Amino acid sequence: MKKVWLTMSTVAVASTMLLSGCGSDSGTNDAANSNAAAGNNANAPANAPADAPANAPAGDMKLRILDANVGGKTPEENAKFEAEIKRLTGIDASIEKPASDYDQKVLTALGSGEKYDLIELSDLGKLATFVDQGVVTDLTDFVTKSTVLSDPSVVPTAEWDQLKDKDGKIVAVFSKFQGGTMPIVRKDWLDKLGLKEPKTLDEYYNVLKAFKEKDPDGNGKNDTYGLCTSDLYDIQGFMSAAGVKAHYVMKDGKRTIPYATEAAVPMYEWFAKLVKEGIMDPNFVTNDTGKMRNLFLSDRVGMVTYWDAWVGMFNNTRKQADPNTTFQAEALEGIPGADGTILMRRGDPDFWIIPANAEHPDAAKKFLEFWHTEPGITLGSLGIENEDFTKEGDAYKLTPTGTEHNMDHGVPFWYNQNVKYPFGKLPGVQEAQDLVTKDATLELSLPGWPDAEKIVKNYALKAMSGQMDASEAVKKMHEELLGKKLIDE
Amino acid sequence: MRLLKKYGALYVMMVPVIAYFLVFAYYPLVKGLQTSLQDYKLMGDRPYVGFANYDAVLHDSLFWEAMVNTLVIGGGILLFSFVAPLVIALSLNEVLRTWFKKMAQMILYVPHLLSWVVVGGIWIFMLSPDSGIVNMILVHVFHRAPINFLADSGYARWIMILLSTWKEMGYTCILFLAGIVSINPSLYEAARMDGATRWQQLTYVTLPQLSNTMKVVFLLNTLGILRIFDQVFILRNPTIASKVDVLMMYTFQKGILEIQLGPAAAASFFVLVLTLALTLVVRRMTRFDEV
Amino acid sequence: MSDRFERLGWKNKAFDMLNALFLLALMLTMIIPFINVLALSFSSGIASMRPEIVLWPKQFSAEGYQIVWKSLDIWRPLLNSVIVTVIGTTLHVLLSSLAGYVFIYPRLPGKKVMLTFILITMMVPQEAIMIPLYVVNKDLHLINTLSSLVLSGLVSGFSILLMRSFFLNVPYEMSESAKIDGAGEFRIFLTMYLRLAAAGLATVTLFEFVGRWNMFTAPVMFINDSMKYTLQVALKAMIIDTSSNSGTYMVTTNVRMAGIVISILPLIAVYPFVQKYFMKGILLGASKE
């Protein structure tokens, strides 16, 4: 025992002496180095040359990518994903896909001067901040001159407006087609109870009440809810009945938040009634979206509010667990307002930026074009050839791995109309996406939204759960927002 | 010279530790301080703006709200997470059957191994108004209306305090147990010779002998209370946010969500300075430095 | 111990009963979450999604474990974790006890200053210094190496203070007499204090071992190459879920729970070994006189 300790400690002490010795040495160097680095940053032009030729010869192009969605699902697959990019484009890509804390990773990387060529983001509010802080490259020339990206059949021209900064410059490129959210209903429960798809607020109420009271899952127990949401996660389809849009809305140059106006009161009261009558899951305040999904998948609730793509995911998940299931999820349109307008939510897009300090902007541009062509889309959706799928002639066949990965390697859906979905879309998805295309609009996140959001959510949820009178809640919400100068009227 | 000869070896023993801290704690700290004085952009110029960031933070009502929440919740945790593990350690120490003692120790330490994501998720279920066990007892045994604990701002802070205490008590308890084990058995023998009861042995031998461990546990807890974050992050929801959002939540929102790194750094330094002040008080009060 | 049994009167017995009941009730609340995780990990995909606390698997199935096993080459991240945890913990415990030992000298000049120096390191919010800390690691060429994870938290004020408090329980006169016999500081530290504070050493080792095994922020920030992921990070990476955006990849609850069980199993397995030393502390203590 004594001897072991002695040798162990001697070794340890010696090695730490060494470590700390060189540590403190380079510590002093660090200061100099990072000062120099900071100086370099300061001198770096905010915008790298944007009109560099995007179709330069591949040669030994290198590319460093930081992203949250694109790539392999496991370390091994990620390595194969990189090899596949090399095979398809000649670009020597390295993909870094942090396991979590993505936002912090991006900030740390950028703030410490780490050089990436492409970074994936999915928040337009953040994009605006990044523009302000000199992070992004102007891609207007690149996009407009690119034969691939400027083609409206590859990306509809109007869509680019989403990715423009306040001066109208294009500062990012889409990484996939982003959908929207909506009420999703158990169609099989509707049928079983002899109900039709609801269209008005009253019809919705009746359907939800029936889901609660008429034992739609037929297990003889009163264990179902009509509606479940998560937090204030997208109740837009319902709020549409009152004609109010979530987040900020600019009215005559003034910032307003419609959820904090008189018009929203009847809607909060409607939800409060559902909660009081036990029709709505009272846990909606504490639920995360994962829990909400699980409730829907496990026959506990007849309607949730979620993404279009998940209509298919819900159907498919149940089908895989039991091929004979009657489970059928279906997307519902929002409720028309007094003037007949339907408001639905379009999600912020997922997109790539080329940071201002990128070392290989040309490779990045080449990759962006590739990403919107058929081989790129196939890689982003089906995955890696001979790993996730095999190809015989024009016919694709998924391997078991590919089936597990659900044709989503960062690009479940895409803009490019020339590229067909080799397996079609999962049941129910197309209908849901049609609703998005028809009714959904983006939400506006102005600076200060995180602060405003806290206030809106606090009072809205209190009103919906019946803890507070709806008109009082809206009054307080509005006052507090005005008081903190988060809205103009 | 005499001093150096007497203590020289001790200073040498400190060298690696000090060197490590200089590189991995103090240098980043100074850089952080620098950030708090800058209009810190992720790229490009980072001009110095004096104390503007501090000023902005001090004039932010959310910061003060977070400050109050931190002090209330942190104070509660400080108290409860000191007393509870001590009681359990003493209680475990009275257990005579070794297998039971061992098993109890091990089980009490399990919640510490699970992350707040897991533990928080389970408690959200257990406290839920419709199917949670706590409300079931409330309704069926006490015939009271169910309470939506996690959406009720009246209970929110208590829940933060109690859950935090619950999760870490087995862990801190190990410290007290290790302290108890190190007490010289001859002291107990002497006490028994004098006819001391179990209670007397506890108050005259165990507790006084444990004072060093108690001091250090209290100090360690003090150092952490202003930095509570994980449990709040997991258990919060918008209806209780104004009662439970703590200072680190504030810096998280400023820094990570709003990318205002200057104000976020400034807020962090308030946390640091406040902790420093608290620690000084605790050091004085417990006479920590005196052996 | 035996003499304590002999004195059991009815009051003592009643107290022991109550005490045991109290501990049992507490243990129950603590074991439920773990059993719940275990039960869910052995449930089938859909069954594991039901919103309830289950204590026994519904529709028993090892599918969760099979999926983890199949999709993750578990040995590599496991090895990384073991390397980082074992080397890191060993160095950490040694360095921290070394410093803790220094602080037991009551009249050491500069002690207060050094103590404050160490306390301050414990007050720094890690988020605030993440960017500069990254820069330090980058400049030392540690990014993407396991060394960065060993070095992260190599010493901590926490452990130093703990070791100090355990060393303080060792009678000071012993080291005085050893010194008169001509023993140097290092020898006294190694041969006397480390052995006599075995319970404390075991405690700090356990704490550090758990902390390192569960270390998360450092590997996420400092490791880019997924081949160098530690077990925690690899498992988390595997169960990344697209709940916050419109992606279409879902990880069912049973897989997630299987990942959690796999990741904490080693910690539970190692506990009894450490616990032995809590008992050893008594023996050593007994031989103090």
Distance from CA of B157 to the nearest CA of A (A): 15
Please give the pLDDT value at position A32: 37
Please give the pLDDT value at position C276: 76
Which B positions 99-158 lie with beta carbon below 8 A of chain C? 100, 102-115, 118-119, 122, 125-126, 131, 133
Pick the range with the lowest mean pLDDT from A226-240, B138-152, B154-168, C190-204.
C190-204
Inform me whether the pLDDT recorded for C208 exceeds 60. Answer: yes
Cβ partners under 8 Å of residue C98, min gap 6: A13, B13, B14, B16, B17, C189
Distance (Å, whole) CA A269 – CA A259: 13
User: If you search the block for the tokens 């897009």, which residue do you land on?
Assistant: A349
User: If you search the block for the tokens 């206030």, which residue do you land on?
Assistant: A455
Among B182, B203, B176, which residue's Cα sits nearest to residue C169?
Answer: B182
SS3 content of chain C, % helix, strand, coil (to 5): 70, 0, 25
Which A positions 17-46 lie with beta carbon below 8 A of chain C? 19, 23, 26-27, 29-30, 33-34, 37
Percent of chain B residues past pLDDT 70, beyond the cut: 98
Mean pLDDT: which of A24-38, A368-382, C110-124 is highest?
A368-382
Tokens of A159: 């869509």
Do the Cβ atoms of A307 and C140 come within 8 Å? no
Which A positions 239-298 lie with beta carbon below 8 A of chain B? 281-283, 285-286
Q: How confident is the model at residue C278 (pLDDT cuts 50, 70, 90)?
A: low
Q: How confident is the model at residue C93 (pLDDT cuts 50, 70, 90)?
A: very high
Q: Tell me: the pLDDT tens digits for C11-36?
A: 778 888 899 999 999 999 888 888 98
Residue C247: what residue type?
Answer: G
Helices marked H in A322-407 = 361-371, 374-381, 400-404
Helices marked H in A90-200 = 102-111, 124-132, 140-145, 187-192
Cβ partners under 8 Å of residue C101, min gap 6: B10, B13, C163, C164, C167, C189, C193
SS3 B256: helix
Neighbours of B59 (CB within 10 A): 9
Tokens of B124: 């959200």
Q: Tell me: the pLDDT tens digits for C109-118?
A: 888 899 999 9
Q: Tell me: the pLDDT tens digits for A416-448?
A: 999 999 998 989 999 999 999 999 999 998 888
Strands (E), chain C: none
Q: Tell me: the pLDDT tens digits for B38-65?
A: 999 998 889 999 999 999 999 999 999 9
Distance from CA of A359 to the nearest CA of C (A): 17
What is the rounded average pLDDT of the residues C205-231?
A: 90
Inform me whether the pLDDT recorded for A56 exceeds 80. Answer: no
Distance (Å, whole) CA B116 – CA B232: 9
Inform me whether the pLDDT recorded for A255 exceeds 60. Answer: yes
On the CB side of B60, CA atoms within 13 Å amount to: 22
What is the rounded average pLDDT of the residues A72-99?
A: 90
CA distances from C98 to A5, A10, B159, C104, C185 (A): 13, 12, 39, 11, 10
Neighbours of A448 (CB within 10 A): 17
Q: Tell me: the pLDDT tens digits for C76-85?
A: 899 999 999 9
Do the Cβ atoms of B238 and A467 come within 8 Å? no
What is the rounded average pLDDT of the residues A292-318?
A: 91
SS3 C136: helix
Please give the pLDDT value at position C289: 34
Q: How confident is the model at residue A25 (pLDDT cuts 50, 70, 90)?
A: very low
Inform me whether the pLDDT recorded for B291 exceeds 60. Answer: no
Inform me whether the pLDDT recorded for C8 exceeds 90. Answer: no
SS3 A166: coil
Please give the pLDDT value at position A18: 41
Q: How confident is the model at residue B94 (pLDDT cuts 50, 70, 90)?
A: confident
C49 with C253: CB under 8 angstroms? yes
How many residues would you count in chain C? 289
Please give the pLDDT value at position B166: 94
Interface probe with C: pick from B5, B17, B125, B173, most Cβ of C within 10 Å: B17
Mean pLDDT, rounded, of chain A: 86
A118-121 vs A62-66, strand pairing mode: parallel
Inform me whether the pLDDT recorded for C279 exceeds 70. Answer: no
ipTM of this predicted complex? 0.86
Among A176, A179, A177, A161, which residue's Cα sits nearest to residue A67?
Answer: A176
Query: Against a cut of 0.90, is the pTM above it?
Result: no
Please give the pLDDT value at position C200: 85
Among B62, B61, B70, which residue's Cα sits nearest to residue B246?
Answer: B70
What is the rounded average pLDDT of the residues A396-411?
A: 88
What is the rounded average pLDDT of the residues A32-51?
A: 38
- Dihedral angle of Cα A136, A141, A146, A150, to the nearest 10 degrees: 90
Residue A152: what residue type?
Answer: P
SS3 A24: helix
CA distances from C105 to B10, B85, B279, B288, C162 (A): 9, 29, 21, 13, 15
Please give the pLDDT value at position A9: 46
Do the Cβ atoms of B41 and A450 come within 8 Å? no
Distance (Å, whole) CA B91 – CA B80: 16
Inform me whether the pLDDT recorded for A19 exceeds 70. Answer: no
Q: At what angle do helices B261-286 and C111-121 cross, to 10 degrees?
A: 140
Distance from CA of A12 to the nearest CA of C (A): 6
CA distances from A360 to A81, A136, A414 (A): 19, 14, 25
User: If you search the block for the tokens 């990070």, which residue do you land on?
Assistant: C233
What is the rounded average pLDDT of the residues B68-73?
A: 96
Residue A343: Cβ-neighbour burial (10 angstroms; 0-12, 13-18, 19+) = buried
Q: How confident is the model at residue C241 (pLDDT cuts 50, 70, 90)?
A: low
What is the rounded average pLDDT of the residues A303-330?
A: 92
B250 with B270: CB under 8 angstroms? no
Do the Cβ atoms of A300 and C50 come within 8 Å? yes
Residues facing A305 on adjacent strands: A183
Residue C177: what residue type?
Answer: S
Over the Cα atoms of chain A, what is R_g?
26
User: If you search the block for the tokens 């350690």, which residue do you land on?
Assistant: B89
Neighbours of A209 (CB within 10 A): 16
Distance (Å, whole) CA B179 – CA B197: 21
Among A333, A279, A315, which residue's Cα sits nearest to residue A188?
Answer: A315
Please give the pLDDT value at position A43: 38
Distance (Å, whole) CA A238 – CA A233: 12
Please give the pLDDT value at position B106: 87
Inform me whether the pLDDT recorded for A138 exceeds 60. Answer: yes
Burial A285-318 (b: 16+ CB within 10 A, else e): bbbbbbbbbbbbbbbbbbbbbbbbbbbbbbbbbb
User: If you search the block for the tokens 């910690």, which residue do you land on?
Assistant: C267
Q: Tell me: the pLDDT tens digits for A451-467?
A: 899 999 999 999 999 99
Pick the range with the lowest mean pLDDT from A204-218, B122-136, B222-236.
B122-136
B111 with B143: CB under 8 angstroms? no
SS3 A112: coil
Do the Cβ atoms of C135 and A291 come within 8 Å? no
Do the Cβ atoms of C91 and A33 come within 8 Å? no
B195 CB near a chain C CB, below 8 Å?
A: no
Tokens of A459: 């009072």
B190 CB near a chain C CB, below 8 Å?
A: no
User: If you search the block for the tokens 């680095």, which residue do you land on?
Assistant: A37
Inform me whether the pLDDT recorded for C206 exceeds 50. Answer: yes
Q: How confident is the model at residue A236 (pLDDT cuts 50, 70, 90)?
A: very high
More confident of the two residues A11 and C56: C56
SS3 A279: coil
Q: What is the DSSP letter of C226?
A: G
Among A285, A276, A317, which residue's Cα sits nearest to residue A299?
Answer: A317
More confident of the two residues C48 and B24: B24
What is the rounded average pLDDT of the residues B139-151?
A: 88
Inform me whether the pLDDT recorded for C240 exceeds 80. Answer: no
A255 with A451: CB under 8 angstroms? no
